[in-house]
Amino acid sequence: MKKNIYNILKGTFLISDDSFKSWRLILFISGLAIVMIASSHSADKKVYEIARLKNEVKEMRSAFVDGRSKLMRLKMESNVVQVMKEKGLAPSVNPPKKIKIKKSN
């Protein structure tokens, strides 16, 4: 048992007569490790991209709500009346009249 562990630590299993099997296994495991590391990095990049896009969506949503509230304030009748007073226009004192058209048969 002690001799087997000593041989593994020295690496004699890599230079023995049946070392081709060991080398194939080592290369296969190394290849799997490289693929796993690349996959992990790819997943991390996607997670960071998702977080960045979520923040961007939040910023755009808040800008949209801010713009919509400004528009609602500009469309209010009191604001329109005030802007028209500055330009010299006043609201009409006579209410509008409805025009009715009678159909002739």
3-state secondary structure of 105: coil
Each residue's pLDDT, cut to its tens digit, for the chain (105 residues) gives: 778 788 778 777 777 777 777 788 889 999 999 999 999 999 999 999 999 999 999 999 999 999 999 999 999 988 988 999 999 998 888 888 899 988 886
Token pair 């020295």 is found at: 10
pTM of the model: 0.56
For 11-35, b where at least 16 C-beta lie within 10 A, e where not — what string? eeeeeeeeeeeeeeeeeeeeeeeee
Token representation of residue 63: 């800008």
User: Where are the domains positioned within the chain?
Assistant: 2-86
